[in-house]
Amino acid sequence: MVPPEYYLVLSAAIFCIGLFGILTRRNALYFLMSAELMLNAAVINLVAFSFQWGNLTGQTFALFVIALAAAEVAVGIGIVLVLYRNFGDVDVLNAATMRW
């Protein structure tokens, strides 16, 4: 049996990659992908712990997260389209009107 630490390290690594992507990229599509990575990191955690404790709650949550991720992508792509339509680009720095 694979020890849980391995899952956790994998999850943390994927999460950090996603976070890194969000903090450094300017393209909205990369944002979406990075967000997906972070969500999946969380899913790995959930499944790993579920497996560890022999309890299905974690897996249920994982399914929820997958559904949620799908919905999020739908909304996210919508936003990206609107961004492109308004700014002719998908650079998130352009959409900075919601400030002081």
Residues in contact with another protein by the rule CB under 8 A: 19, 22-24, 26, 31, 92-93, 95-100
Residue 33 or 95: the one with the smaller Cβ distance to another protein is 95
- Based on CB atoms, which residue is closest to another protein, 73 or 95? 95
CB of residue 29 to another protein, shortest distance in Å: 13
Q: What HEC string does the chain produce?
A: CCCHHHHHHHHHHHHHHHHHHHHHCCEHHHHHHHHHHHHHHHHHHHHHHHHHHCCCHHHHHHHHHHHHHHHHHHHHHHHHHHHHHHHCCCECCCCCCCCC
Tokens read off for 47: 């499944």
Compute the least distance from the CB of residue 97 to another protein, in Å: 6
In the complex, minimum distance from the CB of residue 54 to another protein, in angstroms, rounded to a whole number: 27
Nearer of residues 44 and 92 to another protein, judged by Cβ = 92
Rounded to the nearest whole angstrom, what is the least distance from the CB of residue 87 to another protein in the complex?
13
Work out the angle at residue 71's Cα, subtended by the Cα atoms of residues 70 and 72, and round it to the nearest 5 degrees. 90
Complex with another protein: residue 36 or 59, whichever CB lies closer:
36
